[in-house]
Amino acid sequence: MTAPRLSVVVPFYNVGAYIGDCLDSIARQTFADFEAILVDDGSPDDSAVIAKEFCDRDPRFRIVQQPNAGLGPARNTGVEHASGEYVTFVDSDDLVTRHGFGLLIKALDQTGSDFAGGNARRFNNSYGVRPSWLHGQVFTADRLATHISETPQLVLDRMVWNKVYRRSFWDEYGYQFPAIRYEDYPVTLKAHLDAVTVDTIAAPVYFWRERESGDSITQQKFQLANLRDRVVSAGLVLDQVEDALPEIRSRVHAHFRQIDLHAILSAFGTVPPEEERHLVELTTELLDRLDDDVLANSPRVAQLQFDALRAGDLELLHKVALDPASAEDHLQLTKADFTLATSVREVSWIDGELSVRGTAELRHLQSKPSELRIGLMVAGWNHRLPLRRYPATDLRGEQSLVGFEVRVSRELLAKCPAGPAHFDVRLRVGGVRRRDRLRGPRAGSPGWPPGAWIDDTNWIQPGPGQDGAFAVRRLPDPCRLTAVEQTPDALVLHGRAAFDEPSLFVSRPLSGGEEELPLEVHGRDFTARLPIGPILAEINPDDPFSQRTTRAFRMRGPEGREQVLLWTAGDRLVSHAERGRVVMLTRSTGGYVNLHESPIRITATAVVAAGNMLVVRGPDWGEVDFSWRRYLPDSDDHVDVECRRTVSDDGWAAVVDMTALEPAEWVLFATAPDGTNHAVQCEPFLSSRLPLTITRGRHTLAVRPLAGTLHLEVTEGVAAGPMP
């Protein structure tokens, strides 16, 4: 029997609620030449039963059992039983993208590198899917046959599971996972140091679960045993870079100071008195291993914590861990501490003008009188904008005069270049002056800013510019979608191209590939018919959690001209639901046309306040009940406040009395008759109209999207969103 090309090692322990979905995501791989070794690490629940049932259905899966020894030894056992040319690891509560293994193996076959790694996403039921911050720092581009010495940010690549390793490389260096938590980094970093070359893929290949209960290893931040293993793991890694290149060594030390040491110092806020001495010893052990120049370049609050640790000042460590802002009482502030902090909280169009609301303040000086100027930089000229200031929530959580609104006229927007035009912010407080670009977009309309025509041919699209600063772009005569018709079996797209002889292509950005849509063209106007049946028939999701596939549209013309298709077809999505699945034509964060296909997940399209009632509406895609849910701290347990559900020709409405929602963060959930439930999705056009901020008595309620789901933050005493 021919050995498979890839061995997938899946250790499991007490993951009965998750392992089925994990194994299903592996089975769905487009790269089918694999074996999956499922290592039962003495699991006490029904995980083994679920795993064995899967093995009975799919001969590529087999199970190996051992007494409980921990994740690292279980992975080692899996490698011992693996026979493939390549080996990869999957944690049993996570998911892999359908094309992930194929993308990584394709790179390795092309380059001959020792291993390849790809980007990752985080996900859970409450927040949906969002980027993994750490992986976003590393996997920023496709880099073939690179090395940690020429791509130093690879020192931050500490997880083993988003990679495929060449088995001969793995065996040559005899990698073994230690029997501790945080066992990944010592193996992963050593592999980077040992490798001749590695490949990095910017596309997400792995979905990393974040449990609401906080009981995954990386979420058990404040348990003493967890912290002990974290320090042991850090010591193993620091040993590896002792004689490494100076830049690699310095980056590793700085990373441990920023992430691991910070996490351990945060534990002083919750550590029981009987464990304080042990926590001091652990923290000191890691602190003493880090280079002095790295510690000296730490933020001043961190340096205050270092000094308190060495002085044995547990009271100060406890105080700063619970409230980092309290460190200001113990620091001698200098002008260098008075940095400019800005945010964008709401973006809209009012009377044909672009309205941008946000905050601007100097850290530590926000309560003092100030002078604020904001201008739009166009072709090197600073055009000062009319400005209105109002009280808003500042960095200390208090009400002060930090809020602002600027409006940009059509005349000025018409002068904007095709590239981004940024907002210049200047703030003076007393004798301190600071200047920077407007930054800090929040959830809602800043993340999904609405665009608009300023004349017959020029579209203005706000959004991120250089370095993540907020900007506006003028799109002259863009290729655009102008209208959509629905027929029983197709979506009919009408639009206008920016050039003659246009062609329209549909692509899948995450997995690649494209197809051309037949066009009926009259000059530059076009009509395209998009059949729904073939889309629904191809159950081939790019996102293993939501089971959603996204398609984008691109127009091409003669001489290689090409543009992404812009959405100008109104402010509501177009959807078609059939046999438990739904196709939605909508807009992207940048305002371009996207087609989403997925299992039906109830979607909100409107939110309004009526008296004391909060009303959420959406298309009626099936019988569900609604409730606002808050999770209890560090638990999968939750409290639900049920909504009254009504149905009309316009769809469903979920109505709740706002006085029943105590101060907390709530997520709207939909529950089907079979008991399955999911967080209600927030469709893009609704996101572009949020946040919605409501004041009722002593409470302020702010409805906003987070990672594509609908959230409600209820606070007491302080407004949570932009002021009117």
pLDDT tens-place string over residues 142-164: 999 999 999 999 999 999 999 99
Hey, which bits of 275-413 come out as E strands? Answer: 340-350, 353-362, 370-378, 381-384, 387-393, 399-408
Q: Let me know: does 38 contact 63? Beta carbons within 8 Å.
A: yes
Which residues on adjacent β-strands are paired with residue 490?
Answer: 487, 531
Is the model's pLDDT at 634 over the cut of 80? no
Average pLDDT over residues 77-92: 97
Query: What's the whole-number average pLDDT of the chain?
Result: 92
The residue written with tokens 């309620």 in the block is: 701
3-class SS of residue 203: strand
Is the model's pLDDT at 721 over the cut of 60? no
DSSP 256: I
H-helix or E-strand spanning residue 234? helix 224-240
Residue 531: partners with Cβ closer than 8 Å, 6 or more residues away: 489, 490
Give the pLDDT score at 34. Answer: 97
The residue written with tokens 């046309």 in the block is: 593
Q: How confident is the model at residue 37 (pLDDT cuts 50, 70, 90)?
A: very high
Average pLDDT over residues 90-119: 96
Radius of gyration of the chain (CA): 27
Which residues on adjacent β-strands are paired with residue 118?
Answer: 201
Instruction: Please state the separation of Cα 110 from the chain's center in Å.
Output: 30
Amino acid at 145: A
Is the model's pLDDT at 271 over the cut of 70? yes
The residue written with tokens 């509560």 in the block is: 93
Q: Copy the structure tokens of residue 52.
A: 């064995």
Q: What is the pLDDT of residues 327-368, one digit of tens each?
A: 878 877 777 778 999 999 999 999 999 999 999 999 877 667
Per DSSP, the chain holds a count of helices (H) and strands (E) of: 17, 46
Is the model's pLDDT at 304 over the cut of 60? yes
Q: What is the pLDDT of residues 241-256, one digit of tens each?
A: 999 999 999 999 999 9
Q: Copy the structure tokens of residue 15.
A: 């993951």
More confidently predicted of 545 and 387: 387
In 3-state terms the chain splits into helix, strand, coil percentages (rounded to 5) of 25, 40, 35
Q: Let me know: does 705 contact 445? Beta carbons within 8 Å.
A: no
Q: How confident is the model at residue 218 (pLDDT cuts 50, 70, 90)?
A: very low
Q: Copy the structure tokens of residue 602.
A: 């109830």
Give start and end residues of each alpha helix (H) in 290-389: 292-296, 300-311, 314-322
Q: Which of 631, 581, 697 is nearest to 215 (CA)?
A: 631
Q: Which of 599, 617, 488, 607 is nearest to 547 (CA)?
A: 599
Q: Let me know: does 550 contact 596? Beta carbons within 8 Å.
A: yes
- What is the C-alpha separation between 502 and 521, in angstroms, rounded? 8
Is the model's pLDDT at 720 over the cut of 70? no
Q: Copy the structure tokens of residue 54.
A: 């899967």
- What is the C-alpha separation between 694 and 701, in angstroms, rounded? 5
User: How many of the other CB atoms lie within 10 Å of CB of 159?
Assistant: 20
Amino acid at 646: T
More confidently predicted of 473 and 637: 473
Give the pLDDT score at 722. Answer: 43
Give the pLDDT score at 10. Answer: 98
Is the model's pLDDT at 723 over the cut of 90? no
Average pLDDT over residues 668-677: 92
Q: Which of 470, 474, 423 is nearest to 447 (CA)?
A: 470
Residue 10: partners with Cβ closer than 8 Å, 6 or more residues away: 22, 23, 26, 36, 37, 38, 39, 78, 89, 90, 91, 92
Give the pLDDT score at 332. Answer: 78
Within a 13 Å sphere around the CA of 668, how many CA atoms are in the beta-carbon half? 32
More confidently predicted of 234 and 621: 234
Give start and end residues of each alpha helix (H) in 493-593: 533-537
Within a 13 Å sphere around the CA of 254, how many CA atoms are in the beta-carbon half? 16
More confidently predicted of 650 and 350: 350
Give the pLDDT score at 406. Answer: 98
First-to-last alpha carbon distance for the chain, in angstroms, is 71
Q: Let me know: does 397 contact 404? Beta carbons within 8 Å.
A: no
DSSP 258: I
Is-cis flag, bond preceding 299, omega within 30? no
- What is the C-alpha separation between 205 and 97, in angstroms, rounded? 5
Q: What is the pLDDT of residues 428-481, one digit of tens each?
A: 998 899 999 999 999 999 999 999 999 999 999 999 988 889 999 999 999 999
Q: Copy the structure tokens of residue 229.
A: 């293993």
Q: Which of 437, 527, 535 is nearest to 481 (CA)?
A: 527
CA torsion, ordered 393, 398, 404, 405, to nearest 10 deg: 40
Q: How confident is the model at residue 718 (pLDDT cuts 50, 70, 90)?
A: low
